[in-house]
Chain A
């Protein structure tokens, strides 16, 4: 057996590394920058993100164009040793794929009498700025029946408290919760899918996919170098996002600090995911004025209502000539604004999704909301309490939260370590 059991077979591999020169080496140098920097190969064709570093990649990394997000449940008979073996095998494979290399002995370079270790669809593709990010769900610590399957209950951070239910939630169990999550982001969708597919394969017999979600068109800019993208409602989204370059904000609102909770999470962060279905057809038949009132920004430039430019501060006090607030009292930007939520900010890193059409022929589309934060109780929960329900965010008439997830994303790893190692030692 090779990497399926967690051993490292890097020595025996000829892979995409050979096609792209020193990409792997460049990626390691980039690690010193803390998982943020983007390394480039000497050919300039191989944008590989550093896998190793104090923080996991895929959080502060400027958002890529494509997402494949997968949630896993561990099998009923899996032991603590089985769990750590999986984390070791996953870490090895993720490090290789992030550098643009094949998994294990490769797609075409292993023993031809055995199934190839790598599934092969990323051959000839660049690393495509792939990042692979892991998170641990609440059920990893205490399962739904209150059982501490892996001896981890005492290590569960208070920040990983189950999310409360919010008014208007229409959550489905099958696309909510889960023991483990993997976020794979890349600029090429095939590279992101390849990552999830190979990690799911390595997990067989230990963990099975509970659900997965494909996403496209990053809906937030996470770097001041990126333009603000539009979501499926046609509006710019994420203008007021935390930017990775803002070290103070990253430390105060994203990265877990000393003293926040159990030490194993220091340098990590918490991820909240929400599958938010947009009711596209009603939205499309709504007037522009009403759409802008609901959001609180203009659709064209993304400027706050009453202001000329996108990045102008929102004036929540401004009144129009009719004496009414310029930004509606129920506008999405007002209720989501940090001043309305005790200063709470999020590093939003969500993606649009379109999963074809539903049984009525309506677009099954929306936002796969993903937000990283230091403490979901203070941040996501506060903001969502402001937004949720009939009497709050005007946008609720056009959206529905159908899936939900909460995960503790451990700090980054150094070469030779595995994801979440500090949780087990």
Chain B
């Protein structure tokens, strides 16, 4: 596992690197003499099933490259978090035995590298201390701009992941292998759910991708993810899914093109975060959305991820205006993510759905569902206040 071919990475890296910068979009974020060039040796991260080994945990301020090796059995993702779980950088969808690079600018401070096997939960964390140049204090406008930039890159990277995983889903369907197709379904879903409010802003396209059978009318047939879900999971057939998959892939492609035109604003982000949790309350915690596959918790986690990203991106702005709101949101996001984590799929345990990092909705007891609903209601109240905090003067 330790050895790898640099050639493979060299080719793959430009396509797959996820690059999110700490505050500003250039090295200007880092000041002082401690700046270190990218020529420095990469830092190896071994992301295992229960470990997250970072080769060097004491770094000089500057730009660093983390080379992430997935030694776990599951697909993993690795985040670099600054205080308050603000995402400094992330690399997602790292398959088993795959190596990916993550480049981040790190001003002095305390960071955490989090490995998330199965791409869920708070992750296994390793602390990293960075000394040297500190990031300049940003003005409110700079903080907001950084938040918008961060969210835009998040949405773009999730959109790209949606395009990739939807096309992989389509390929599995084309191969005629029902099991492979079912297994590819949850992976594509999570990326859609993370950006759901943005996708929904395109009123024509969203139903074609995400409609339910109840939304179908004589003029608008049942198509999209859930139409395929019904064939694969309820009717247990791949027949008829190919044409639907072709259209779905095309519509996801159109969505990706449209998302590039979106003018992101703090207000849109705040409202989007609230709307993500409203989605959870309405159609995920109720088990309505994924009625054939029962992967509702995947959608649930996707919505929560999307909302949490908005919050962490806006956190410096909220902190300056309403520190109590930050305290409340920290507590409630952590409670919700921890609770979701208790329903992570465990090999051999009840409710396992191949390809899904979470157990089946049907494996939840009424008490489990109530506990989730309670946390969703709890976080919706403070989330509803973000918009006014980030738009008010």
Binding site for B on A (CB under 8 A): 1, 4-5, 75, 77, 111, 113-115, 201, 204-206, 208
Contact = CB atoms under 8 A, between A and B. Distances in A.
B378 A1 contact: no
Chain A, interface SS category:
loop
Contacts of B385: 1, 114-115
Contacts of A205: 328, 331-332, 378-379, 381-382
Contacts of A115: 381, 384-385
Nearest to A201: B381
B325 interface: yes
Contact of A113 (B328, B335, B378, B388): B388
A111 B324 contact: no
Contact of A204 (B370, B378, B391, B392): B378
Contacts of A1: 322, 324-325, 328, 382, 385
Nearest to B373: A208
A255 to B, nearest CB: 35
Given A1-B322, A75-B374, A111 B392 contact: yes
A204 B378 CA distance: 5
Contact of B384 (A114, A206, A208): A114
Contacts of B380: 204
Interface of B: 322, 324-325, 328, 331-332, 335, 370, 374, 377-382, 384-385, 387-388, 391-392
A242 B380 CA distance: 45
Contacts, number: 45
Nearest to B366: A174
Contacts of A77: 331, 335
A115 to B, nearest CB: 4
A5 B322 CA distance: 12
A4 B381 contact: yes
Given A1-B328, A114-B384, A204 B322 contact: no
A141 to B, nearest CB: 22
B384 to A, nearest CB: 4
A204 B381 contact: yes
Contacts of B387: 113-114
Query: Which of B379, B382, B384 has the largest number of chain A CB atoms within 10 A?
Result: B382
10 contacts: A1-B328, A4-B381, A77-B335, A111-B392, A114-B384, A201-B381, A204-B378, A204-B381, A205-B379, A208-B378
B88 to A, nearest CB: 27
Nearest to B338: A77
- Top 9 closest A-B pairs, CB basis? A113-B388, A205-B378, A208-B374, A115-B384, A114-B388, A1-B324, A204-B378, A204-B381, A204-B377
Contacts of B392: 111, 113
Nearest to A202: B381
Contact of B388 (A111, A204, A208): A111
B377 A208 contact: yes
Contacts of A111: 388, 392
A201 B384 CA distance: 13
Contacts of A113: 387-388, 391-392
B218 to A, nearest CB: 35
Contacts of B332: 205
Given A1-B322, A114-B384, A208-B370, 19 more contacts: A1-B324, A1-B325, A1-B328, A5-B324, A75-B335, A77-B335, A111-B388, A113-B387, A113-B392, A114-B388, A115-B381, A115-B384, A115-B385, A204-B377, A204-B378, A204-B381, A205-B331, A205-B379, A205-B382
A111 B384 CA distance: 12
